[in-house]
Amino acid sequence: MNTILIIAFVLGYILITLEHKININKAAIALLTGVMCWTVYIISNSNPEGVVHELIEHLGDISQILFFLLGAMTIVELIDSYNGFDVISKQIKTTNKRTLLITVSFITFFLSAILDNLTTTIVMVTLVKKLLQDKEDRWLFAGMIIIAANAGGAWTPIGDVTTTMLWIGGQISAGNIMKKLFIPSLISMIVPLLLISRIVKGKIERTTIIVESKIPNYQKYSFYLGISALVFVPIFKSITHLPPFMGILIGLAILWIVTEYLHRKKK
């Protein structure tokens, strides 16, 4: 049985890595591999009821992570759907490329500690694309954004999927990871920033700067309330000792109610 399970897992993993070669979504392969492994395991086991109970326990652990990630991603999507990230972009008014690089890098670093690093990268790269016209500048800024996002996402329990899984599983604590990893994460962002900032020179043309305008209240509410909901999760867990996904769902519910109320008169 063990041999069959190992073969099924390895074969499934190989197919996942070859997603772009075989043109089959890796999620479909992962689902098939998981079900096949559990099927082989229960058929070869003398206590099927025990295996079912074990499966339910594993499913409960995995569901915590899924509910948390779904809640967090939905909050980010709500902020984005109401253009809440304009709150950040419209505060950037510098025309100096080097100053802009430093500003964007630090915003990315701290924003990715609250959002996940992939979402932060997408948001900040989209912002830079609006500010810069030169292709080489865009590549340099995008590279620095990716570095800053990964560095910033490493020092909080909600900044990266890996640390989120470890936090939910109880392997790390929120306070300890922030205390131990903030300085190393900051250094790993600052060192490449110093190198890349020496390459970036010049000014941004005024025509490429986002036009300054008043930010509507619903954008401000969606941004600040969404960010607050994400920051609230570790606090909620430390106070109530409930799983993190409960905190993210409460934050999502409040943001949902507020945005529905703000737009209640619209069709």
Q: Which residues in the chain land under pLDDT 70?
A: 205-215
Q: What is the predicted pLDDT for the residue at 50?
A: 87
Q: What is the predicted pLDDT for the residue at 89?
A: 76
**Alpha helix positions (H), 82-134:** 86-89, 97-112, 117-131
Tokens at 77, concatenated: 């999507």
Task: Write out 226-264 in H/E/C secondary structure.
Answer: HHHHHHHHHHHHHHHCCCHHHHHHHHHHHHHHHHHHHCC
Q: How many CB atoms lie within 10 A of CB 101?
A: 22
Could you tell me where the beta strands, DSSP code E, fall in 43-198?
Answer: none
Q: What is the predicted pLDDT for the residue at 101?
A: 93
DSSP letter, residue 208: G
Q: What is the predicted pLDDT for the residue at 213?
A: 56
Q: How many CB atoms lie within 10 A of CB 222?
A: 25
Q: What is the predicted pLDDT for the residue at 118?
A: 81
State the burial class of residue 97 (Cβ atoms within 10 Å of its Cβ: 0-12, 13-18, 19+): buried
Q: What is the predicted pLDDT for the residue at 150?
A: 94
Q: What is the predicted pLDDT for the residue at 186?
A: 95
**What pTM was estimated for this model as a whole?**
0.72
Residue 126, phi then psi, degrees to nearest 5 = -60, -40
Q: What is the predicted pLDDT for the residue at 62?
A: 84
Which has the closest alpha carbon to 194: 102, 95, 108? Answer: 102
Could you tell me where the beta strands, DSSP code E, fall in the chain?
Answer: none
